[in-house]
Structure 1
Amino acid sequence: MKVRGTAVATSALALCLAAAGCGPDDGEGKGSGGKATASRTPEASASAAPEAGTTPAPTPTSDGRTLTEAELAKVALTTGEVPGYEVAPLEGTDERGTEESEDEACRPIAAIINGSPEPAPAAIVFRTAMDTAEEGKDDQTVVTEILTSHPKGGAEELLRSVREAARACAGGFRTTSEDGPSTYTGVKTLPAPGAGQESFAYQVTGSLEGVRVPLVFHLVRTGSTVVTFYAANFLGAAVPEVPAALVTAQAAKLP
């Protein structure tokens, strides 16, 4: 995700995921507000999967433990681990989004937009990664990470449910929230870098005050831990980028 200046990077992200402050409008130009943002087009080097959006990779070993919040924080990326990116805790995550899908089949996608992946995790940690080379630019790249740990089977269920929802909701869906209705006009799978034991990527298209807004999500699972990467473009129609370097570096830290 890219933002208008670094000063609003964290707050814009918190508004979007935690408080639905930059969610799509109701199709009549009644957007829910929030900071405008933008991002780059995904690199062509991302590898496609046999099933679109899923990339098989050499299976890493995992102890399968359900991590505590403190343990999740220890395995989260830190500044210096990916050259050119500053990583910090994401502020404003105490209040999450309240969007509820009108179609139950699309609920897993709405839950991630809210910043609350389902099934409910045992622990959750938020981070934000910013491209320091673009500091001060209107379109600075900012990516959110949501690290979640799950009881046995929960991590696999999260990936499975999101995959199924992406297929079922390809034609779009509507949600209702405290801020009113929102319309998402389409969901499609994307190529995902091979990482972790399982990975999946998809794009959700909404609108902000009548303007097309592409949102991109990459999910990576190793054992009982899932990392969801989020990027958005609120300044143009180009599909935003989740840099593969962030995905692979974070996946490599998962136990």
Structure 2
Amino acid sequence: MKRSSGARLCATAAVGALSLALITGCSSDSDKGSSDEKGAKGASDTKSSAPAAAAVGSAELEKLLLVDGDVKGFKVEKADDSLPADKSAVKVDKAECEPLAYALSALPPGDSDALARTTVAEDKAASMETASPEDLENVDMQDMLDMDVVLVGLSSYEGDGAQKAVKGVSDAVAACGGGLSMTSEGETQKLTKVTSAKGTPAGDESTAFSVLTEVEGSPLTVQVEVVRTGGTVATFYAVNLAAMSTGGKAEVPPAVIEAQAAKLK
């Protein structure tokens, strides 16, 4: 048996690389059932408009990020340094698709430079601590890699900038269904399909989408959710490492979204 803690560290480190090879990947031809089956509301689930907001800086956003202990069953790690540092490091072949590429990098999807990011990974190590010796003997690395890893990004906006950021993502989903190409850190990736998805109701408004790509010849679907609370926008980008090697999909665990949204109220 391989140590599950090692798998988790591998997972969190991989998110940076995934944001290059996953930043571009994914699809949502089925988000655990079709959009209709899940009652998808299209690209955006919007509540009443919030009062004009005042932006906060990156240092304040860091204090609002999830930390260890906020989400049961998950570990929180510092975001990988290989992630694009800012928007200038991400190039997209279609300008209207830029908000999608930024959300996949946990960068601000709207007009803001205030940014904070972290990685939340399913804690396989904790579940193994209560497993029987017989169960442990049957655990292999594939089991360890079958975990959800979520890249969380926070950005802050003045006035109605946060609302515009969410709308920008929704508009981009509608405009970029046929896919896009993006380049980050010298790596170019092709996202072959973008589809609106059913997200987790949270914050003042939210939108979700899935993207389809290929990793080493296997189709991979990843999901992104964008949630606005007041003048702050949280982006959540989920991958599953087992799905990367076998072909599959990942959805953002609702518990992660709910915990982050609660800290932003």
Alignment of 1:166-181 (within 5 A): 166-177=173-184, 179-181=186-188
- Among residues 37, 58, 64, which one is paired with 1:69 in the alignment? 58
1:250 pairs with one of 240, 260, 263: 260
Q: Between Structure 1 and Structure 2, whose CA radius of gyration is higher?
A: 2
**What is the TM-score of this pair, normalised by structure 2?**
0.75
Identity over aligned residues, as a percent? Answer: 28
User: Residues 46 and 205 of structure 2 are in contact (CA less than 8 Å); yes or no, is this contact kept in structure 1?
Assistant: yes
Q: Per-residue CA shift, 1:120-166, capped at 9, x if unaligned? A: 42421111112214667122221110011122222112111111110
Counterpart of 2:7, as a letter, is: G
One-letter amino acid of the counterpart of residue 249, structure 1 = A
Kindly indicate whether the alpha-carbon contact (under 8 Å) linking 1:55 and 1:191 is maintained by their aligned counterparts in 2: no
Contiguous gaps of at least 5 residues in structure 1? 26-40
Q: AA paired with 1:52? A: G
1:82 to 2:89 alignment: no
Change (3 A) 1:4 1:86: closer
Aligned to 1:198: 205
Q: How far did 1:66 drift?
A: 1.3
Structure 2: any 5+ residue segments left out of the alignment? 26-30, 127-140
Pairing of 1:1-255 with structure 2 (within 5 A): 5-17=7-19, 20=20, 22=22, 24=24, 48-49=39-40, 51-56=41-46, 64-92=53-81, 95-96=84-85, 98-133=89-124, 137-177=144-184, 179-233=186-240, 234-255=244-265
State the distance in 1 between where 2:200 and 2:22 align: 27
How has the CA–CA distance of structure 1 residues 61 and 75 changed in structure 2, closer, same or farther, with 3 Å as cutoff? Answer: farther
In structure 2, relative to structure 1, the CA distance for the partners of 1:67 and 1:116 (3 Å cut) is: same
Q: Per-residue CA shift, 1:77-101, capped at 9, x if unaligned?
A: 2222221112232131564484422
Corresponding residue pairs, total = 233
Q: CA RMSD in A?
A: 3.1
Work out the CA distance in 2 between the residues paired with 1:91 and 1:181: 19
